[in-house]
Amino acid sequence: MDIGSLTTRAVLTVEADDSLREAAMAMMERGVGSAVVLSAGKATGILTDRDALRAVAQARETQSFTVGDFVSGRMMTALPSTEIVDAAQMMRERGFRHLIVVDEDDALVGVFSMRDLVVGLLEERRMLTKAVATEAAVAAPAD
pLDDT above 90 (res 93): yes
pTM: 0.82
Identify the structural domains of the chain with CATH numbers, from first to last.
3-135 (3.10.580.10)
Q: For 67-92, how does the pLDDT look when each residue is reduced to its tens digit (9 = 90+)?
A: 988 886 788 999 999 999 999 999 99
pLDDT band with cut points at 50, 70 and 90 for residue 60 = low
pLDDT of residue 142: 66
pLDDT in tens, 98-116: 999 999 999 999 999 999 9
Q: What is the 3-state secondary structure (H, E, C) of the chain?
A: CEHHHCCECCCCEEECCCEHHHHHHHHHHHCCCEEEEEECCEEEEEEEHHHHHHHHHHCCCCCCCEHHHHCECCCCEECCCCEHHHHHHHHHHHCCCEEEEECCCCEEEEEEEHHHHHHHHHHHHHHHHHHHHHHHHHHCCCC
